[in-house]
Amino acid sequence: MVFKPLEWALGRFSIDMGIDLGTANTLVSVRGRGIILNEPSVVAVRKDTGEVLLDGMAVGNAAKAMLGKTPGNIEAIRPLRNGVIADFDVTEKMLRYFITKVHEGRRRVKPQVVIAVPVGITAVERRAVIHSAERAGARRVFLIDEPMAAGIGIGLPVIEAHGSLIVDIGGGTTEIAVLALGGMVTSTSLRVAGDELDDAISNLLRRHHNLLIGEQTAERIKLTIGSAWPMEQELSMEVKGRDSVTGLPRKTTVTSMEVREALNHPVRLICEAVRGVLEEAPPEISADLCDSGVTLCGGGAQLYGIANAVGETLGIPAKVADDPLTAVARGTGVFLEKLEVFARVLSSEEEDS
């Protein structure tokens, strides 16, 4: 590797970062400070020039507020789809925004960055993530698989000779893996997750209530009255949107029982994917999982009763991790602090020129 004095000097004044680069949200963890950023993975740009609005600051919360409401010359983009980069240019701009924000506006910085990625992405897609981060200003980029990062983040014994089953239900993918001895014994990446849950709710309103709603409304319904298991007290919610027949604004009421029925199919697909991973695990690992069971994390793990649904399907204990939304990001932070310990599960790539 060629020594670069300027890059080395800029690196000395940078803050190393762990990034959970998600389809729905991006979380940033900093060594010694924990998670300092949690914003939607959305960027607002001008269609004609690709310029990010608000002098490059229309990213995250500011951009999400524009989803579904932009005029013709402006577009609010989610640059990741199903956990992988769909728009490289916009992803680079989003990463540059987060790196600059962590460094309080300083642009000439070169941090080390650990990025969590889905287990199912190809070598080409992994290189694309690395190169986007490098172009955004990273000095050195490491990749860690999301289930491993989540396991580290919630304190599972991932480097011990004991099997742990983690299910990370994100926005675009559900990452499922059995972890042991610092690696993934068996794993899969399912493209059914939070977005599909939202779509199921949107379809419910369209088919049964003749009401068209946007992404943010569907997500709000999911978080407010969505469930994967019968509630102790069933709920209802007033929903506003556009009548699919008349085209006029209208509101209706939807119940938690209706929403649960709509979510049944994607929840069942997730449970069956977990079953498939368990069926591939060695018998000794299966013996471990009889007691330790499955731990759920990610934004989708906040769905009411999801642990009950998974546990009932698999016949083993199931629980939701503490603060499930931040598990992966916390794992990247621990990873930064213990790079040597976790070297075996590390993937890095650097350019020599």
Q: pLDDT tens for residues 265-323?
A: 999 999 999 999 999 999 999 999 999 999 999 999 999 999 999 999 999 999 999 99
Every domain of the chain with CATH number 3.90.640.10 lies at 194-262
Tell me the two tokens of residue 329. 């990001």
The pLDDT assigned to 82 comes to 77
The pLDDT assigned to 223 comes to 95
CA–CA dist 293, 165 (Å, integer): 7
Is 80 exceeded by the pLDDT of residue 339?
no
List of residues 6+ apart from 76 with CB closer than 8 A:
42, 43, 44, 63, 64, 66, 67, 68, 70
Asked if the 163-192+267-325 domain carries CATH number 2.60.120.1600, the reply is no
The mean of the pLDDT values for the chain is 88
List of residues 6+ apart from 49 with CB closer than 8 A:
none
The pLDDT assigned to 6 comes to 44
Most confident of 76-85, 92-101, 324-333, 339-348: 324-333
pLDDT (tens digit, 9 = 90+) per residue, 87-130? 888 999 899 888 888 887 666 678 889 999 998 788 988 898 99
Is 60 exceeded by the pLDDT of residue 348?
no
70 exposure class (CB count in 10 Å sphere: 0-12, 13-18, 19+): middle
Which CATH code, of 3.90.640.10, 3.40.50.150, 3.40.50.1240, 3.40.50.970, is assigned to 194-262?
A: 3.90.640.10
Give the model's confidence band at 7: pLDDT under 50 very low, under 70 low, under 90 confident, else very high. Answer: very low
Alpha-carbon dihedral angle through residues 220, 224, 230, 235, given to the nearest 10 degrees: -120
pLDDT (tens digit, 9 = 90+) per residue, 131-150? 989 988 899 899 999 999 99
Task: Report the predicted TM-score, pTM, of the whole model to 2 decimal places.
Answer: 0.86
Asked if the 5-149+329-349 domain carries CATH number 3.30.420.40, the reply is yes
Is 80 exceeded by the pLDDT of residue 5?
no
Structural contact between residues 138 and 99, judged by C-beta atoms closer than 8 angstroms = yes
DSSP 8-state assignment for residue 89 = H
Every domain of the chain with CATH number 3.30.420.40 lies at 5-149+329-349, 163-192+267-325
The pLDDT assigned to 75 comes to 87
pLDDT (tens digit, 9 = 90+) per residue, 44-87? 998 888 888 887 788 988 888 887 777 778 888 889 887 788 88
Site of tokens 């793990």: 301
Structural contact between residues 180 and 161, judged by C-beta atoms closer than 8 angstroms = yes
Q: Cα angle vertex 308, ends 221, 191, to 5°?
A: 60
CA–CA dist 168, 274 (Å, integer): 11
